[in-house]
Amino acid sequence: MKILISAYSCEPGRGSERGVGWNVACEVAKRNEVWVLTRPDESRDAIEAELATNPIPNLHFVYFTLPFWQDSLHFGQSGAMQIHYYLWQIQAYFVARKLHKEIGFDLAHHVTFVKYSAPSLLSFLPIPFVWGPVGGGESAPPQFWKDFSLRARFYEIARDLVRNIGQRDPLVGMTIRNSAVVRATTDDTAKRLYRMGATQVQIVPEVGLLDEEIATLHQFPLPASQPVRFISMGRLLHWKGFHLGIQAFAKANLPDAEYWLVGEGPELDSLQRLAREHGVAKQVKFWGRLPREETLERLGESHVLVHPSLHDSGGWVCIEAMASGRPVVCLDLGGPAIQVTCETGIKISAQNPEQTIRDMAIALEKLACNPDLRVQMGKAGRQLIDENFSWKVVGERLDRLYQETVGI
């Protein structure tokens, strides 16, 4: 088939949305002829260098950006970039319509960004359209806002405002109605899409790992020596919930254990202060931001991943931890709640901070004191990743979806 992919963010060798755009395109191109719409300023050099080294004959890139706003990277992930993204989606329709007249696509698929509250005008083309999986419908439960700083509360309010505006955007509603398939990363996003008029939503995680990444992570043995180490990885942001992880670690009766945090961000000072106030400053180590290789080395020296995120569409660290054979302790919220099973980790209900910290502390004690359980969950995690989260498996499932959608 001839497939048109919209990937605002797309780059080889990267994680997050850039990696999703690139890896989905590569997998689809193994079985179909693929054209990818993306931006030149973010990743063109990296894409062309990769294709020069490892050509993919069925994969074609069409680069464009707004003629009056060409540097979309200048503002980072700010609101300005979200405006650029919205306008780029409108421009994408006209680029795609012209391409369709020349090529005659069988199907269009929007891959990145994964925003349920922003439209994809490729849905207006006279061909079947697959939207997503899209995310962003997750919210930190209101009971947890009391621990947020004023800046963090403002962020959450602004985020809700932008989403509510998007939910009322007629172009978003038309995207839903014009989609042959609507996919969401989480239950929360699916519920919002149903309220916006979707009649059927598939819940599918957006994350994946390359076979070579899985093979590398499979080689990490569980450390046999003490102390038991818990690890959290990611930007130190309020909604990542690391403040809950520190308090749970302090509440657990684990005087010989350690808790490592890998990442940087605006919450660093408050997290360090929290560790001192709870008497665990000597057991909690802040590694700062590390290169990916060193981050995975720290994961390999740890026993359990702690990921207490309050609203996370993806949760890449969870699948990396499970691929490495580490149990995961996460909240029963967002993307991690979809990825982690009762066989591969412990999911904590998030009713209020006090209950969450208490139940998380119990989970940490349980895993710290039961090495056999850690091994058992680790084996189940590796199996889960092999069967569900390799990009190869994602590509095979996408191909079946495309054929069903087109009616082959």
DSSP 349: P
- Spatial contact of 253 and 368, defined as CB atoms under 8 Å apart: no
The tokens 């989609």 sit on which residue? Answer: 179
Collapse the DSSP code of 325 into the 3-class scheme (helix H, G, I; strand E, B; otherwise coil) and give the result.
coil
Is pLDDT above 70 for 74?
no
More confident residue, 78 or 406: 406
Question: In this predicted model, what pLDDT tens digit does every residue of 187-202 receive, in sequence order?
Answer: 999 999 999 999 999 9
Collapse the DSSP code of 206 into the 3-class scheme (helix H, G, I; strand E, B; otherwise coil) and give the result.
coil
Is pLDDT above 60 for 77?
no
- Spatial contact of 276 and 248, defined as CB atoms under 8 Å apart: no
Would you place residue 205 in the very low, low, confident or very high pLDDT band (cuts 50, 70, 90)? confident
Q: How far apart are CA 339 and CA 135, in angstroms?
A: 14
Q: How far apart are CA 124 and CA 117, in angstroms?
A: 17
Q: Which CATH superfamily is domain 2-208+390-406 in?
A: Glycogen Phosphorylase B; (3.40.50.2000)
Structure pTM? 0.89
Is pLDDT above 80 for 69?
no
Average pLDDT over residues 135-158: 92
Would you place residue 70 in the very low, low, confident or very high pLDDT band (cuts 50, 70, 90)? low
Would you place residue 408 in the very low, low, confident or very high pLDDT band (cuts 50, 70, 90)? low
Average pLDDT score over the chain: 92
Question: In this predicted model, what pLDDT tens digit does every residue of 336-388 receive, in sequence order?
Answer: 999 999 999 999 999 999 999 999 999 999 999 999 999 999 999 999 999 99
Average pLDDT over residues 134-148: 92
More confident residue, 224 or 40: 40
- Spatial contact of 385 and 322, defined as CB atoms under 8 Å apart: yes
> Treating both helix axes as pointing N-terminal to C-terminal, what angle do 16-29 and 40-53 enclose, rounded to 10 degrees?
40
The pLDDT assigned to 73 comes to 58
Least confident piece of the model among 72-81, 86-95, 198-207, 333-342: 72-81
Q: How far apart are CA 56 and CA 311, in angstroms?
A: 36
Cβ-based neighbour number of residue 145 at 10 Å: 15
Percent of the chain residues past pLDDT 70, beyond the cut = 97
The tokens 């706003």 sit on which residue? Answer: 69
The boundaries of every CATH 3.40.50.2000 domain in the chain are 2-208+390-406, 211-387
Average pLDDT over residues 83-111: 94
The tokens 């808790």 sit on which residue? Answer: 259
The pLDDT assigned to 18 comes to 87
- Spatial contact of 121 and 92, defined as CB atoms under 8 Å apart: yes
The pLDDT assigned to 382 comes to 94
The pLDDT assigned to 124 comes to 96
Question: Is domain 211-387 in CATH 3.40.50.970, yes or no?
Answer: no
The pLDDT assigned to 407 comes to 84
Give the pair of three-digit tokens for residue 340: 């982690």
Question: Residue 193 contacts by C-beta under 8 Å, 6 or more apart in sequence?
Answer: 116, 134, 137, 176, 182, 184, 201
The distance of Cα 302 from the centroid of its chain, to the nearest Å, equals: 22
